[in-house]
Structure 1
Amino acid sequence: MPPVIEIAGLRKGYRRLRGGVHRALDGFDMVVEPGQVHGFLGPNGSGKTTTLRALLGLVRADAGEMRILGQPSPSALPQVIGRVGAIVESPQFFGNISGRRMLTLLATAGGVPTARVEEVLAQVGLRDRGKDIVKTYSLGMKQRLAVASALLKAPELLILDEPANGLDPAGIREMRDLVRLLASQGVTVLVSSHILAEIQLICDSVTIISRGRRVLAGPVSGVLASFDSGDFRIRVDDLPRAADVLRADGVQVTTGPDHLVAHRVAAPARLTELLGGKGLWISELAPLTPDLESVFLQLTATAPQPGAAKQVDDAVLPAGPPPAPNEFAPEVPR
């Protein structure tokens, strides 16, 4: 099957008030395969929303090619838009009518049977609040209502821009379960989010954009494996002596307050052999695998350079050394 979304060489610039052009997109590429949950990540101002708006015909791109559900966009968008549900940027609703009435109006305008309204309210957990006036909804409830509106057409492709915005932890989990359920039913989901732990949990593949260019793309598992440097955390009673034993055998070691980190270990069993042979018994030997947050922070720390990406297994990665594993998982700035 052809990709659900194909973007190649997408460019978009905006004129600055004081002259010059801001390049929101500078040759951006992205491919989303059918049936996947695809994460679309990037810092604020990196071009994520501009990409989605261009794909859906809401802004005109300066250059590049886009295809959605196999058809060129925006020229053939009218033929496929009925199979696409989308939330882009902040959803806007009439505040003085109920959520159920709002969805009924949208269904009627879109030629969707009104019976779908109750189905989508139940899907997003708003059935009991459907009679309430929209202006009384919390930010999280409005986000759920937006997702419900995007589901009215029972789309083949669902595009969600920050769907977890304003949701509490329980709501985020429910949204995660909903996305995975839709994917299991054959819906392709493109989700943009800054909650990287969620992206890592729900997504099959990921694209990271920085300053208008793609800096990474590939299966989540392949991306993380490509950045795994083979570091291990070791806890043992006598840290200084253990460090001396490992260094004497050529192992690179750094010392923490209550543990050691052995770097680029090809055979972890060798660590237990070395330390056990000296009467040093290991209480913990754990791999320090990178997570999506550490990869994201490393890749978006500097602007990507033209031609700096290379193919590594199934992932498109930037040239240069991998980031250090994120042992303590720092919070991503919002």
Structure 2
Amino acid sequence: MSAVIEIAGLRKTFRTLRQGRRVAVDGFDMVVEAGEVHGFLGPNGSGKTTTLRALLGLVNADEGRMSVLGTPAPEQLTQVSGRVGAIVESPQFFGNFTGRRTLRLLAVAGGVPTTRVDEVLEQVGLRDRGDDRVKGYSLGMKQRLAVASALLKNPELLILDEPANGLDPAGIREMRDLIRALAESGVTVLVSSHILAEIQLICDHVTIISQGRRVAAGRVDDVLAGHDQHEWQVRVADPERGAELLRAAGLTVTAQRDDLLVVGGAGEPEQISSTLGTEGLWVRELTPIRPDLESVFLELTGTAPAPTLPRQADGSVPSGEGPDDPMIELDVTDGRRVDA
């Protein structure tokens, strides 16, 4: 597969309202291959949205190299813009317009056949509400309308920033099905989300960013496997005796409560069951404990290194560059007020 997005050494600095500087993205790298659903994860303030803005030319990067569909970005992004659909943060629409009229105007402005309007309304589940005014839409419906607007061009690459924001459980499932269907049709999807269980269900690869730096990247299964502690949940009638037998056999018992033991160090489950069974203590349950994306995410982002900041001669950080800086900042490159 070929890469449709490449980011190397991306760095972006903002000046705070108190005239200090904050490093939002610090030497970040990411590769998204064609045809995959790629999850882009990071806690609030990690640099995730800033990265997407820089990629799309909405803010100017200080350093780094980026390309979209093999074209340098954002310098030559206009050459491939017709093949890219994107939503970054909460979209804004005219409340008195209907959803259908909104999409028709966007289609005409973008040179897209208006026949696409009904098609994308159907795709996102708004066909029956297309003639309602947008001001009557729920937050989740507005989010679906935004996805519909990104799909108008029938893009090869779709970039979605928090597409499930405001959706109820049924809506989240519909969005999951939509993203899967798009991927099966050949569309490459880059999706950021705080709903980590959904990312684990729909994504082939993930990139995790924390404090402006990449802390993990790869296939979802590989990222999870790298944090597998190879532990087993074991239930026995006599947990105290069971723990004693297992420790004597060279295994570790990291937790013990009621009739449940958490056992580590076993190469195969048979080692646990035979150790207990030969002493007449039969296993009621033997279940592998596998890490999920949420636990790995919290582990990685909780221990990530802080971004590099300029320091004074005494080693202190200049005023205005600490963690309590306001989120509304000035783009150093042109002085525009932006939301980092």
> TM-score when scaled to structure 1?
0.90
The alpha carbon displacement at 1:304 in A equals 2.4
Q: Report the equivalent of 1:278.
A: 279
Structure 2 SS opposite 1:221: helix
Give the Cα–Cα distance (whole angstroms) in 1 for the partners of residues 279 and 76 of structure 2.
71
Q: Are 1:161 and 1:193, in contact at CA under 8 Å, matched by a contact in 2?
A: yes
Q: Report the equivalent of 1:293.
A: 294
The alpha carbon displacement at 1:151 in A equals 0.3
Q: Are 1:158 and 1:190, in contact at CA under 8 Å, matched by a contact in 2?
A: yes
Q: Greater shift after overlay, 145-154 or 11-20?
A: 11-20
The alpha carbon displacement at 1:246 in A equals 0.6
Q: Are 1:215 and 1:304, in contact at CA under 8 Å, matched by a contact in 2?
A: no
Give the Cα–Cα distance (whole angstroms) in 2 for the partners of residues 82 and 18 of structure 1.
40
Give the Cα–Cα distance (whole angstroms) in 2 for the partners of residues 244 and 278 of structure 1.
11
The alpha carbon displacement at 1:76 in A equals 0.9
Q: Report the equivalent of 1:128.
A: 128
Structure 2 SS opposite 1:13: strand
The alpha carbon displacement at 1:266 in A equals 1.0
Give the Cα–Cα distance (whole angstroms) in 2 for the partners of residues 115 and 244 of structure 1.
71
Give the Cα–Cα distance (whole angstroms) in 1 for the partners of residues 154 and 10 of structure 2.
28
Give the Cα–Cα distance (whole angstroms) in 2 for the partners of residues 162 and 18 of structure 1.
30
Q: Report the equivalent of 2:139.
A: 139
Matching residue's letter, 1:257: D
Q: Is 1:259 matched up with 2:280?
A: no
Q: Are 1:14 and 1:23, in contact at CA under 8 Å, matched by a contact in 2?
A: yes
The alpha carbon displacement at 1:281 in A equals 1.1
Structure 2 SS opposite 1:285: strand
Correspondence 1:79-118 to 2 at 5 A? 79-118=79-118
Q: Is 1:166 matched up with 2:162?
A: no
Q: Are 2:99 and 2:145, in contact at CA under 8 Å, matched by a contact in 1?
A: yes
CA-to-aligned-CA distance 1:124-155 (integer Å, 9 cap, x gap): 00000000000000000000000000000000
Q: Report the equivalent of 2:74.
A: 74
The alpha carbon displacement at 1:82 in A equals 0.6
Q: Report the equivalent of 1:237.
A: 237
The alpha carbon displacement at 1:20 in A equals 2.2
Q: Report the equivalent of 2:199.
A: 199
Q: Report the equivalent of 1:6.
A: 6
Q: Is 1:220 matched up with 2:220?
A: yes
Q: Report the equivalent of 1:176.
A: 176
Q: Is 1:38 matched up with 2:38?
A: yes
Give the Cα–Cα distance (whole angstroms) in 2 for the partners of residues 235 and 163 of structure 1.
41
The alpha carbon displacement at 1:185 in A equals 0.5
Correspondence 1:287-326 to 2 at 5 A? 287-304=288-305
Give the Cα–Cα distance (whole angstroms) in 1 for the partners of residues 25 and 162 of structure 2.
19
CA-to-aligned-CA distance 1:56-101 (integer Å, 9 cap, x gap): 0111001100000000001110100110000001011010011000
The alpha carbon displacement at 1:208 in A equals 0.3
Correspondence 1:12-31 to 2 at 5 A? 12-31=12-31
Give the Cα–Cα distance (whole angstroms) in 1 for the partners of residues 307 and 143 of structure 2.
37
Q: Are 1:15 and 1:22, in contact at CA under 8 Å, matched by a contact in 2?
A: yes
Q: Greater shift after overlay, 111-120 or 256-265?
A: 256-265
Matching residue's letter, 1:285: L
User: Where does the alignment leave 5 or more consecutive residues of structure 2 unmatched?
Assistant: 309-340
Matching residue's letter, 1:201: L
Give the Cα–Cα distance (whole angstroms) in 2 for the partners of residues 305 and 151 of structure 1.
37
Structure 1 SS opposite 2:64: strand
The alpha carbon displacement at 1:19 in A equals 2.7
> TM-score when scaled to structure 2?
0.89
The alpha carbon displacement at 1:225 in A equals 1.1
Give the % identical residues.
71
Give the Cα–Cα distance (whole angstroms) in 2 for the partners of residues 264 and 294 of structure 1.
20
Give the Cα–Cα distance (whole angstroms) in 2 for the partners of residues 135 and 129 of structure 1.
12
Give the Cα–Cα distance (whole angstroms) in 2 for the partners of residues 303 and 272 of structure 1.
38
After the TM superposition, list the runs of 4 or more consecutive aligned residues in structure 1 that deviate by more than 4 angstroms: none
Give the Cα–Cα distance (whole angstroms) in 2 for the partners of residues 76 and 2 of structure 1.
19
Matching residue's letter, 2:214: R
Give the Cα–Cα distance (whole angstroms) in 2 for the partners of residues 142 and 267 of structure 1.
50
Give the Cα–Cα distance (whole angstroms) in 2 for the partners of residues 110 and 17 of structure 1.
36
Q: Are 2:26 and 2:307, in contact at CA under 8 Å, matched by a contact in 1?
A: no
Give the Cα–Cα distance (whole angstroms) in 2 for the partners of residues 84 and 260 of structure 1.
51
Matching residue's letter, 2:53: R
Matching residue's letter, 2:17: L
Structure 2 SS opposite 1:113: coil
The alpha carbon displacement at 1:305 in A equals 6.3
Q: Report the equivalent of 1:249.
A: 249
User: Where does the alignment leave 5 or more consecutive residues of structure 1 unmatched?
Assistant: 308-334
Matching residue's letter, 2:51: T
Give the Cα–Cα distance (whole angstroms) in 2 for the partners of residues 120 and 256 of structure 1.
53
Q: Report the equivalent of 1:64.
A: 64
| Aligned residue-pair number | 307
Cα RMSD after superposing both structures: 1.2
Change (3 A) 1:306 1:43: closer
Matching residue's letter, 2:48: K
Q: Are 1:112 and 1:152, in contact at CA under 8 Å, matched by a contact in 2?
A: yes
Matching residue's letter, 1:133: R
